Amino acid sequence: MLTGTLVRVRFSKQRVIPLYIKRDDPSWLEVAESLLLIFREGIGRTRGEIETEIDELVGEGLATLAHRGLAKILEDRAEFEVVADIAPDELREKIFTAAAEYRKTLRVSGQPRAPFRREVVMDALAEELKLRPDQVATAMFADLRDENRLLTIDQTLDAQRLIDRYNVGLAQSVLLKSVLIEAEVRNEKPARYRQLFRHLKFHRLLYRVDGSMRDGFVFHIDGPLSLFSATNKYGLQMAMFLPALLLCRDFRLDAELRWGPKRDSRTFHLEAKDGLVSHYADTGTYVPAELNAFVERFRQVAPRWQLSEATDVIELGREGVWVPDFKLIHQQSGTEVFLDVVGFWKKSSLERLLRFLPEYGPARYILAISEKFKVDEESLDGLTGPVLRFKEIPNAVELAGLLETFLRA
């Protein structure tokens, strides 16, 4: 994201409008490529040296905010390290101690007004540490920010991706000023909605939701400025949700903001046609081959049960919602059972399910839990539905047996 001084916006009445960079603008692509080149060729150089080169490229003033914003995005994708032959804090302690001893020696020798010779201290310490004097001088402040050296830079970035990251970062920075966010998503497959619910829960966002998988959902998310504490941490978590929303084809987002020193009431609007491009890998809708194999096997061994992807959204009190993976319907009796497979991508949700399913869960459900999670039996005592443990994929025959217990109840 961008720091507050790098946020470029204009105002239309009460609305805040970010000044995005056109991702296919030749002049901006050239600027982005020039900045990329500085970082790519800057491996081993200090942060101060790189920033000096950026200053020479872009100049100063408000007209350079976008340039510096692009550089900030690049810096966030870079890794810097402290390069020193000895820990700088330990070295400074040795230097200050040696300097004090040198001054004491001057006083004892009757030369209290003799000029202090820095090179005497540095040379003596270099000899003691078996280093060159210039190495001692360099290492002394190597842990200062400007002296950190560039170790690596994200090699997946090209000029257009850098601009995309900048535009998303600009929108995220605006959302840090939000009190309330309303995001509407429509015309997506169930897997996409599940992906959004997982991101909301993963980032521990406070929200409520209206709608259905057929008609779409409206998410009401508390913004960071709606809280009285931990707003920085919560704001970062909230901003990290935006790239997940950008993966949707049909969405709109409206936010109520508190802007500027006086926290004036403002609004922000974003929708799919604005063209922001997410940098998140679109893996949330991926279905592992193992899970597909399980589905096919189950349909073979239990033809009396209809298995389909679940579209139900089950409220879990204040803990948001639960969207199971599958719904199974017994074709003769109409008995419905929900199945959630916890093992391929939902480790973080398991603890929440164990806590809240007993109170808020549906009447009939089965949890298939991977053995890699090492869940002991005591942790499962409160569940009102059976548990199917598995190693690689759930056993279709065992699942069919558990389903029969619901018919006998």
Residue 199's pLDDT is what? 82
* 245 belongs to a structural domain: yes
Question: Is the pTM above the cut of 0.85?
Answer: no
**Total tally of structural domains belonging to the chain:** 3
Angle among Cα 219, 223, 227 to the nearest 5 degrees reads 130
* 126 belongs to a structural domain: yes
Same domain? 120 vs 181: no
What gap in Å lies between CA 389 and CA 405, rounded to an integer?
17
With beta carbons less than 8 A apart as the criterion, state whether 269 and 253 touch. yes
* 375 belongs to a structural domain: yes
Terminal Cα distance for the chain, rounded: 55
Task: Report residue 113 as tokens.
Answer: 């007004």
Residue 172's pLDDT is what? 94
Same domain? 302 vs 374: yes
Same domain? 262 vs 204: yes
Same domain? 404 vs 293: yes
Same domain? 336 vs 307: yes
Q: H helices within 277-317, ranges in order?
A: 289-301
User: Residue-wise pLDDT tens for the chain (409 aa)?
Assistant: 788 889 999 999 999 999 999 999 999 999 999 999 999 999 988 889 999 999 888 887 767 889 999 999 999 999 888 776 677 787 788 888 888 887 888 777 777 667 777 777 778 878 887 888 777 777 777 777 888 889 999 888 899 999 999 999 999 999 999 999 999 999 988 778 888 887 887 777 878 888 887 888 899 988 888 765 546 778 888 888 999 999 999 999 999 999 988 889 999 999 999 999 999 877 655 566 777 888 899 999 999 999 988 877 787 776 667 778 889 999 999 999 999 887 655 455 677 777 788 888 888 999 888 887 777 777 777 788 888 988 888 999 999 999 999 987 6
What gap in Å lies between CA 90 and CA 70, rounded to an integer?
36
CATH number of the structural domain spanning residue 222? 3.30.70
Same domain? 248 vs 321: no
For CA atoms 256, 258, 260, 265, the dihedral sign is positive
The long-range contacts involving 306-312, CB below 8 angstroms and separated by at least 24 positions, are: 306/330, 306/331, 307/339, 309/190, 309/191, 310/190, 310/338, 310/339, 311/190, 311/212, 311/213, 311/214, 312/338
Range of the domain at 393: 289-408
